[in-house]
Amino acid sequence: MAIKLAIQNLSKLYPTGEGVQNIDFHVEEGELVTLLGPSGCGKTTVLRSVGGFIDPTGGAIKVSDQDVHHLPPEKRPSAMVFQSYNLWPHMTVFDNLAFSLKLKKVKKIEIQQRVEEVLTLVHLQGMEKKYPSELSGGQQQRIALARALLLEPEVLLLDEPFSALDAKLRHELREELRDIQSKRNLTMLFVTHDQEEALSISDKIVVMNNGHIEQIAPPQDIYNTPASLFVAQFIGRMNFIKGQAVNNTIQIGDITLTMDDLYTGEVTLGVRPEDIHVADKSSVRIEARVDKMMMLGHFAEITLHTLIGSLKMFVDRQQLEQFELNSTISIKLVNFIVFKENGEVLSNRRMNVNEMV
């Protein structure tokens, strides 16, 4: 696939000393790439640099191999959907949509036809005469998306377009966005701080933290093999257990685990709640007391008290009956990640039960 958007060693330093550095990634044609990270990590800064609303301090931005650095926003081949206040309240939906076409001096009949077409695409047929204030938040964002689509951008930029909407609507619009993307073969750069949103819609996620990139990978890989302690903490749920590594063993309390790598020093063990299983009789196991049980829909969260600390464990809804409050059970860690003191990953592996000594 051809690379549509390439961001090369981009940096932006604000006078306050904040900003982003070493931003380097690309978006292929027809791909949806998400910039994910906590508030203030620099996602918007990167996106607005692509749109032309921020002048970067260094680096290059190329759309279809063309450097767009010198172009003002109105000349860039990108289109942007903002978090809110997208629409112009003094214009009807039709005029909002037709604005760019009128500037391009497109013929009246064609404008009419294309507005109608794009309204159908976003499921808002017949809304031409309404004013933005007469639309719901979700409808307004749909119109904003439609307006961006009419620009026929090479890259569509979206800055938390759904974050002001309620959860159900957010889900709906996410799916619609995916539909539209596949219909139109859109190339998109999507900003969100919502990890669930990023995991569900992205082809590739760029995880950002404090102005730099932590990891670039498909959602599955981000979840299964986080590249750093930060990514592990930020995405999904994870138990963290402090331990001491000596050569190829890790000592946690009086439990000893083995690993493939050699390392000596303080380590943190990361275990996903779904990677804690009930141990069968034969295997090496950890004693645990059931402290709390919480239904979370199709699964339940169980809080365990163990000698190595408090652990969260996910079980299926049906299995919940097998657990009793304050009873003692045996558990095993099916999968864990070992992080060094500086947050880097040391080892990332699926355990064999017998390896737990």
Partner 1 sequence: MWYFRTVGKRKIIEFIFLCIFMVFFFGPLLNLLLLAFAGEWQYPDILPKVWSLDWWSFVLQDESLVRSMWLSFFIAAIVTLISLIICIPAAYAFARIQFPLRRLFLFSFLLTNAFPKMGLYVAIAVLFYQMNLMNTFTGIILIHIINTLMFMTWIPSAAFENVHKSQEEAARDAGASPMRVFWHITLPMAKPGIIVASVFTFLSSLNEAEGTFLVGVPNYQTMPVIMYSIIADYPSTAGAVFSVILTLPTLILLLAARRFVGADVFANGFKMK
Ligand X SMILES: Nc1ncnc2c1ncn2[C@@H]1O[C@H](COP(=O)(O)OP(=O)(O)OP(=O)(O)O)[C@@H](O)[C@H]1O
- Asked if 14 touches partner 1 (CB under 8 A), the answer is no
- Asked if 55 touches partner 1 (CB under 8 A), the answer is no
Could you tell me which of 278, 284, 227, 276 has the C-alpha nearest to residue 257? 284
Please identify, using beta-carbon distances, which residue of 55 and 74 lies nearer to partner 1: 74
Residues of this chain, 18-37, that bind partner 1 according to CB under 8 A: none
Please identify, using beta-carbon distances, which residue of 20 and 245 lies nearer to Mg ion: 20
Q: How far is the CB of 166 from ligand X (least distance, A)?
A: 19
Residues of this chain, 113-142, that bind partner 1 according to CB under 8 A: 131, 133-134
Q: How far is the CB of 143 from partner 1 (least distance, A)?
A: 11
d(CA 21, CA 6): 15
**Residue 314 binding result from Mg ion, ligand X, partner 1, none, given CB thresholds of 5 to 8 Å by partner type:** none
**Residue 53 binding result from partner 1, ligand X, Mg ion, none, given CB thresholds of 5 to 8 Å by partner type:** partner 1
d(CA 145, CA 151): 10
d(CA 314, CA 332): 13
- Asked if 53 touches partner 1 (CB under 8 A), the answer is yes
Strands 66-67 and 58-63: what pairing?
A: antiparallel
> Could you tell me which stretch among 36-44, 166-174, 180-188, 276-284 binds ligand X (CB under 6 A)?
36-44
Residues of this chain, 158-217, that bind ligand X according to CB under 6 A: 193
Q: What angle do CA 193, 197, 202 make, to 5 degrees?
A: 105
- Asked if 299 touches partner 1 (CB under 8 A), the answer is no
Binding mask 150-189 for partner 1 (x = CB under 8 A): -x--------------------------------------
**What type of residue sits at position 150?**
L
- Which residues sit opposite 258 in a β-bridge? 249
- Asked if 39 touches ligand X (CB under 6 A), the answer is yes
Q: How far is the CB of 122 from partner 1 (least distance, A)?
A: 16
Element spanning 346, H or E? strand 345-350
Sheet hosting strand 204-209, strand order edge to edge? 78-81, 155-159, 188-192, 32-36, 204-209, 212-217
Q: How far is the CB of 294 from partner 1 (least distance, A)?
A: 40
What the block records as the tokens of 214 is: 């932590």
Among 42, 132, 161, 273, indicate the residue that binds ligand X (CB under 6 A): 42
- Asked if 357 touches partner 1 (CB under 8 A), the answer is no
User: Are 41 and 210 contacting, i.e. CB atoms less than 8 angstroms apart?
Assistant: yes
CA 323, 324, 329, 331 dihedral sign is positive
Residues 6+ apart with CB under 8 A from 199: 205, 219, 222, 223, 235, 236
Angle of helix 93-103 versus helix 137-150 axis, rounded to 10: 20
**Residue 45 binding result from partner 1, ligand X, Mg ion, none, given CB thresholds of 5 to 8 Å by partner type:** ligand X
Kindly list the residues in this chain that would bind Mg ion in the complex (CB under 5 A).
44
